[in-house]
Structure 1
Amino acid sequence: MATIDPAFASDATLSTALPGNRRRMLLFGLLGFSAGLPFYMFSVVLALRLQAHGTALAVIGFFAWVQLLPTFKFLWAPLLDRFDVPGFARFWGKRRGWILLSQLGIFTAMVAMAVTAADNDLALTALFAILLAFWTTTLEIAADAWRIELAPTQDQQGPIVAANLWGYRSAMVAAGSGALLIADSAGWMAAYLVIAAIAFLAFPLLVATAPDARNTAGRTSALFTGLAASAAILVVMLVAVAAIGWLVLAAAAGIGFDADANVTPWVLGIAMLPFLAMALALPRIRRATPQSRLRSSAAIGPYVDFFWRYGFGAIVLMAFVSLYRMGDVLALNLSKPMIRDLGYSLSAIGRADSFVALGASMAGVGIGGFLVMRWPLPHTLALGAIFAAIGNFGFVWLAAQPIDETLLYIATGADQFGNGMAGAIFVVYLSMLVNPRFPGAQYAFLSGWAFMLPRLLSGAGGAIVIGIGYDKFFLLSGVLSLAALLFLPALARLHPRAPDSPE
């Protein structure tokens, strides 16, 4: 009879308390909502806030590098598999313990962003944006690991991923349109405070839910212990991020890095380094035995396992996932400043980002989740990439039209439909690449890598737009998304190596 690891006992007990996909879908819809709310606040909404305060376009582009933090989540994802949050884990389990801590971090960081909403000190704005990104990413790591543990097969993943993305995209719409409408009438501080309050609602809901309805003893003690431990962890993270940020800013100033610097060649060079490192390391990884330090290490073993299983095919996989969401990421930070420059008001953008974006996104996610349950993944990946590119081309079309809110709705709807469809398909695809032995670490690595190159280029997006204009920028981003289609024939022939089989 199988036994349950005590560290995951509460999480496993919860899974038995969720007898069908419907309750799991509700759970992961809530978790998606919790992660989607803060994401827009340190990306799209922050870009518009900085633009409103007269920040240079190149500097707004640099702030997109805050979104690079999630691409490096593999650096701390193994900690979430290995360690518990004191107090919270004892009663609610490992996965939910980290989720509860993350929600506290999201709330405090967003309140801090509200207090500094005047953006008088951009270094301080960046500090709290980074903390918000860190805790949002930590929540996603814990939720993704839990999802993969509860639903290990492709047909099980489809509906749960769709529910998670429905929640995520609903929250992005609520944060995007709601924050802009509030900011237009009551200011940026009010916008951030309202979204912070909404983001915190999931915390008491999860606290009130016992993993085992028959045994609620110890909840209060576990809650207060968890809150005390969380406060200490939040302070340590604040000090650590502030210290690292000060060093980075000092180094940037020392080399003359500023808004006038041409960063694009440096970004492209840095993006190529990981591929070179992978190519050099693969021969040794492929020869590694199960007892080797490379494969048995708790820190790097989960990542080595991925390259050991796929060999040089891993480089093809990594190149593909880097390109697949390229258009969506490049459009994220600069589409709204472009629309604002065209002459649309914050309220008009907010209205477009409300029911239009929500309906289109939900439709895209639903169709993507449906198709991935019935079609081969290469076919659905191709369709998702095509619709995502069409969404980017829609901004090129919008820039050539007279100001008309109906046209804004069409462009926004096309972007969100393609984004939603490609996102749902892509999440299932990445989940199927993961070894079930290392769900949290490997999914964090793959999903983080998928957005590393796009977010690197996104940070240079402001400088690129200054050079080529908005229309050519979005044309380029759509073409880059379509370039992922060239990899699909090779991916269809890629299969992982059997465990410890000979070459």
Structure 2
Amino acid sequence: MKLTRIPDACHGWVTSLKIYGQKPVLLMLSLGFSSGLPLLLVFSTLSFWLREAGVSRTEIGYMSWIALAYGVKWIWSPLVDHLSFPILSQHLGRRRSWMLMAQLAIITGLVGMAFSDPALSVSQLVAFALLVSFSSATQDMTIDAFRIESAPEHLQAAMAAAFMTGYRIAMIVSGAGVLWLAAAFSHSHSDYQPHAWQAAYLCMAILMGIGLISALFAKEPQLPAREAAPFHILRRYRRQGYSRFKSKLFAWLFHTIVSPFADFWNRFRWHAVLILLLISCYRIADVVMGVMANAFYVDMGFSKADVASISKVFGVIMTLVGAGFGGILVNRFGTGKILFCGALLTASTNLLFSYMATQPPSLALLTCVISADNLSAGIATAAFITYLSSLTNIAFSATQYALLSSIMLLLPKFLAGFSGVLVDHIGYNHFFMVTALMGLPSLLLIAVLMQLKPFSKK
């Protein structure tokens, strides 16, 4: 019997797929779930709750600034990189102890949100949502540093895709799961019933236990011990006449806060300006549109069950497909080309939402638009996470990745706060067109950077 030889091209694809079976990659599934669960609970799912409670679109847009904690997390990132919890870190290590503390704070915030009612007191809900947002941002930067430090460079694209898979599964739970639970606990499909939302958020607090288990059973990265500060910095302060205590303090602050940013600039020089501009622009089209997406579904007349089934499940599944496919594409064709492709697709799919705004409600059309949008987002995100990871120095992984991912969200989240005002003035149709145009600067910057400093192939 003659055996058929597998073509070399097919063999290459099979080899690429095997990378997803390695232990560091598989661990990212559970950690990605822990990272992804809180986001929608203070973002689009919260906007659905607020809209159903009678909160105006303008207020919903402004309340999206709660998520700005993700955009300023670089401020406290040096603490995550250099401070350890006295007892906990001795048993778990610095990275895992920070994960655990952040997850406990997230659970506390979600329980507080569960016992709040925006129809009676928006301020109480906002306070607990801020706690969830701050703690979730802290958890994210810790997991990002853990991922970068736990595996060699050739695994980073696959780990990014696995992380996104877990992240998006969590988004199914915190998106569709919350809507389904809220519908199940409701006695009526039309009236606002706060107890239904409160029960759903309590369930989310319980599911954060997956993050606690992941932190306890993960293996702390084995890295060389870090000095409090390089000796030459300490000696410089001593020569300036400072006491030994002040010299140590100033040297530690310099090494902790200044050195990560100085290292980034020294490695990339003036290219760093273009890199930071690209990072700040890359997700504008996606984030600004996303704030109003759920309000758009409500105003179009879709029910919670419709949105849960199509947008929050089928759409997220398409994102997982896109993330997995994106990881393979980056591994085979390099980061730059897939980064450009993802940015182009993400901006273009916003035009589909613009078309849908001019049509009568249609579940078939909603399914097609959501599928295209989420598939594009998955490809773009896998490439973008890989790109950000390649820019960091492992000596300052938490601080530098936090800076980059903060810049990624700061401008988009700020502009998204005005999305409700924009919709009220120009309508959904033109709003989605404007968000599509917001994707053009990132395409130009990627093209320029590919010419000046080619992207590394993973």
1:430 to 2:388 alignment: yes
2:260 maps to what in 1?
Answer: 302
1:101 maps to what in 2?
Answer: 101
Is the partner of 2:324 in helix, strand or coil? Answer: helix
Residue 404 (structure 1) aligned to one of 359, 362, 374: 362
Residue 477 (structure 1) aligned to one of 409, 416, 435: 435
Q: 1:98 to 1:40 in 2, by over 3 A?
A: same
Matches within 5 A, 1:71-220: 71-153=71-153, 155-186=154-185, 187-207=196-216
Aligned-residue RMSD, C-alpha:
2.2
On the 8 A contact 1:169/1:361 being kept in 2, the answer is yes
Residue 274 (structure 2) aligned to one of 303, 310, 316: 316
Residue type of the alignment partner of 2:388 = L
1:467 maps to what in 2?
Answer: 425
Structure 1 residue 184: Cα displacement: 2.0
Q: Which moved more, 1:134-143 or 1:388-397?
A: 388-397
1:445 maps to what in 2?
Answer: 403
Whole-Å separation in 1 of the counterparts to 2:220 and 2:126: 37
Whole-Å separation in 1 of the counterparts to 2:25 and 2:327: 12
On the 8 A contact 1:152/1:436 being kept in 2, the answer is no
Whole-Å separation in 2 of the counterparts to 1:199 and 1:185: 21
Whole-Å separation in 1 of the counterparts to 2:337 and 2:70: 28
Whole-Å separation in 2 of the counterparts to 1:488 and 1:449: 16
Is the partner of 1:95 in helix, strand or coil? Answer: helix
Structure 1 residue 28: Cα displacement: 1.1
Matches within 5 A, 1:247-262: none
On the 8 A contact 1:99/1:139 being kept in 2, the answer is yes
Whole-Å separation in 1 of the counterparts to 2:25 and 2:386: 15
On the 8 A contact 2:171/2:312 being kept in 1, the answer is no
On the 8 A contact 2:350/2:373 being kept in 1, the answer is yes
Structure 1 residue 307: Cα displacement: 2.2
Structure 1 residue 204: Cα displacement: 3.6
Q: 1:101 to 1:119 in 2, by over 3 A?
A: farther
1:487 maps to what in 2?
Answer: 445
Residue type of the alignment partner of 2:184 = S
Percent of counterpart pairs with the same letter?
32
Q: 1:152 to 1:107 in 2, by over 3 A?
A: same
2:6 maps to what in 1?
Answer: none
Structure 1 residue 311: Cα displacement: 2.5
Residue type of the alignment partner of 2:298 = R
Structure 2 unaligned spans of 5+: 1-18, 186-195, 222-249
Counting matched residue pairs gives: 398
Deviations 1:75-132 (A, max 9, x none): 1111011111233211111111111111111111001000003442212111111110
Q: 1:318 to 1:211 in 2, by over 3 A?
A: closer
Structure 1 residue 427: Cα displacement: 0.4
Whole-Å separation in 1 of the counterparts to 2:301 and 2:275: 41
Deviations 1:130-162 (A, max 9, x none): 110111111111111111112342x22111110
Whole-Å separation in 1 of the counterparts to 2:304 and 2:400: 39
Deviations 1:234-256 (A, max 9, x none): xxxxxxxxxxxxxxxxxxxxxxx
Using the size of structure 1 for normalisation, the TM-score is 0.75
1:356 to 2:355 alignment: no
Deviations 1:418-461 (A, max 9, x none): 11111110000111111222111001000110111111100111
Residue 454 (structure 1) aligned to one of 393, 399, 412: 412
Using the size of structure 2 for normalisation, the TM-score is 0.83
Whole-Å separation in 2 of the counterparts to 1:149 and 1:347: 41
Deviations 1:292-318 (A, max 9, x none): 989953212201221233233222111
Whole-Å separation in 2 of the counterparts to 1:114 and 1:359: 27
Whole-Å separation in 2 of the counterparts to 1:159 and 1:450: 21
Matches within 5 A, 1:4-23: 22-23=22-23
Whole-Å separation in 1 of the counterparts to 2:252 and 2:219: 39
Q: Which moved more, 1:367-376 or 1:297-306?
A: 297-306
Residue type of the alignment partner of 1:117 = D
Residue type of the alignment partner of 1:176 = G
Whole-Å separation in 1 of the counterparts to 2:269 and 2:406: 20
Whole-Å separation in 2 of the counterparts to 1:164 and 1:30: 8
Q: Which moved more, 1:440-449 or 1:350-359?
A: 350-359
1:386 to 2:385 alignment: no
Whole-Å separation in 1 of the counterparts to 2:415 and 2:124: 24
Structure 1 residue 185: Cα displacement: 2.8
Is the partner of 1:434 in helix, strand or coil? Answer: coil
